[in-house]
Amino acid sequence: MKHAILALAPLFISGCATTNTNYRPVAVEISEPPLGQVVTAEVGGTMLQQGKYVESDAILLHDTVKVGVLGAYTFSRGYYVREGEDGKNEFYRPEPSPEGGKVDKSLLADPYRTLLVSKSSPTLCGVSVFGAKVCSKNAPFTRVKRPALTQDGFQQTLLYSGRIGNKINISYREFSNNIARPAFNNDVEYDLGESMTIGYKGAEIEIVEATNRAIKYKVVRNFNQAVR
């Protein structure tokens, strides 16, 4: 009875799908700005950033989409991250974040398995645990990249916190999986009357000009490899 109900809607296509969970997020290395280049950062802005983060292919669903008779599956607006693919389709699950989407199923629908997106057309399908699928054509979504919550993401940054008199304030932050690590945050004060070159955790920066609004500088050396 359930499968018969899902197959009735003339405005939707239906069928069967074999799903995969073979996708792996990609690690992206970061080292900014380039060494020896004079750059400017405003108060609160990032002066130096090094490390890597892990990002995943994802889709952003712009509006709520219902598929199947009486809305067998309802996909709320938000992000869905890729979990697998085959030659014709990609498979997604709701991102586990406040911006992530959500899937609801109707009373008569089979248990939900995955969100299928066609590689060749803007078609979005809900796939059940039995492989049955119900779809919507011209679904309003955009392919995007999203930070992935894994153990591999780690970043170090220096932020400019302003100038008072002849002293500048720099804030050091470490991020793991895009979450600040409070025990590894620190605020440091430097006296430009003593030196126009500052250093922290192996990083070396030459200050060209600093005000209470912005700082002009160049990076001579980036951070040493941090120990987590």
Q: What is the pLDDT of residues 168-179, one digit of tens each?
A: 999 999 877 655
Q: Give the C-alpha separation, 74 to 57, whole Å.
A: 22
What is the pTM (predicted TM-score) of this model?
0.64
Task: Dump pLDDT digits (tens) for 85-98.
Answer: 999 999 999 998 89
Say if residue 114 is exposed, middle or buried (CB neighbours under 10 Å; 0-12, 13-18, 19+): buried
The larger pLDDT score, comparing residue 107 to residue 69, is at 107
* Structural tokens at position 18: 């074999």
Q: Quick one: what percent of the chain has pLDDT higher than 90?
A: 67
Task: Tell me what pLDDT residue 138 has.
Answer: 83
Q: Give the C-alpha separation, 172 to 46, whole Å.
A: 10
Tell me the pLDDT of the chain averaged across its residues.
Answer: 86
- String of DSSP letters for 92-112: EEE-SSTTB--EEE-TTSPPE
Task: Tell me what pLDDT residue 177 has.
Answer: 62
Q: Give the C-alpha separation, 226 to 220, whole Å.
A: 18
Say if residue 2's pLDDT is above 70.
no
Tokens 């299928």 sit on residue: 116
Say if residue 208's pLDDT is above 60.
yes
Task: Tell me what pLDDT residue 161 has.
Answer: 97
Say if residue 55's pLDDT is above 90.
no
Q: Give the C-alpha separation, 196 to 203, whole Å.
A: 14
Residue 225 CA to its chain's centroid (Å)? 23
Q: Quick one: what percent of the chain has pLDDT higher than 70?
A: 85
